[in-house]
Amino acid sequence: MGAELITPAELSRSLRSERPPVVLDIRWRLDAPDGRDAYRAGHIPGAVYVSLDDELAGHGGPTAGRHPLPDPADFEAAARGWGLNDGDAVVVYDDWQSFGAARAWWMLTDAGVADVRLLEGGLAAWRSAGLPLEAGAFEPRRGTVTLHPGHLPQLTIDEAAALPARGALLDVRAGERYRGETEPIDPQAGHIPGALHLPTTESLDADGRFLPGDALRARVEALGVDGPVGVYCGSGVSAAHAVFALQRAGLDPALYVGSWSQWSNHPDRPVATGAQP
C-alpha cells in the first residue's frame, strides 16, 4: 500500500471490527531506548510493545553501524511473537515523532507485509482525541507470519558513496551534525561527500503530523534533486522516517541502513564538513 497513515478515529473504529489490525507500540528515544515502562504505564488497547534495539536491529560490530538489520529469521520470530499472521493489517505508532514507528513500517513493508500504516500524530494524537489507554502488557497469541525481506531498495556503503555522482544522497540529520559542528554519538563529525541536507524533522508539522505530499515534494524539488534518491541518518532509524515521507512525495528512495554510524567507523572513508555537499 505504500506510505499510508491512519487517523486515531479510524484506528479506534478498526479495533472494533471483525478482524482488527495488529497494533505495535515502538516506544523508543535516543535518550530512552527502552520504552517498556512507558508502554506499561499506558498504551493503545491491544497494542504490543516492540523493542527497537532488540527486535528491529541486529548486533554487529561498530563497522556495521548502530542499528543494522536483524537476521531475517530473528525478525520473523519476533513478528510471530507480536501475534502477526499472514494477511494481517498492521498499525505502528510511538511517542517521538514517529521515528521508531517508521523503522517498524519500513522493515515490515520490506518484508512483504502489504498493509502497514503509521498512526497519524502518534500517541499524542490518540490522547488528544480523548481515546482510552490501557495499562500493563498485552500478550498476544503467537502468530505464524512468513516474512520475505527485500521488497524495498537499499544502499550498501559503496553504493551510498557512489550515488551523488548519478543521483541524490540525502542526509536527514540535524543541521549541526550534517555540517560537522557537533557529533554526540558517532566517531567523526560531518557528512558523506556529495550528500545534500534534508532534515526529516521538517517533514512534520508542529503537531507531529506528516506534511501533505505536495509540500513534501516541494522540499525535495527545492534541492534540485534529479535521478535516483538515497537517504541516510545517524543509524538508519530516522532515515526510514525520511523514506516514508519521500514515498508520500511520490519518490521511491533507497535506504542506507548503516548510515553515518557505519560510515564514520571506517577511517578510510572521506568526510565532508560545512553547509555544502
- Which residues, 6+ apart, have CB-to-CB distance to 107 below 8 Å? 56, 69, 75, 149, 240
| Residue 175, φ and ψ in degrees, nearest 5 | -60, -40
State the distance between the two ends of the chain, measured CA to CA, in whole angstroms.
Answer: 34
Element (H, E) at 119: strand 116-119
CA distance linking residue 25 with residue 52, whole number of Å: 10
233 labelled catalytic: yes
User: Do 239 and 245 touch, CB atoms closer than 8 A?
Assistant: no
- State the catalytic residue, choosing from 195, 233, 240, 246: 233
Q: Is 139 helix (H, G, I), strand (E, B) or coil?
A: coil
From the number of C-beta atoms within 10 Å of its C-beta (0-12, 13-18, 19+), residue 267 rates as exposed
CA distance linking residue 118 with residue 9, whole number of Å: 13
Q: Is 147 helix (H, G, I), strand (E, B) or coil?
A: coil
User: Do 5 and 118 touch, CB atoms closer than 8 A?
Assistant: yes
User: Do 8 and 118 touch, CB atoms closer than 8 A?
Assistant: no
Q: How many CB atoms lie within 10 A of CB 89?
A: 18
Cell of 27: 516506544
Q: Which residue has the cell 520475505?
A: 148
Catalytic machinery residues: 233
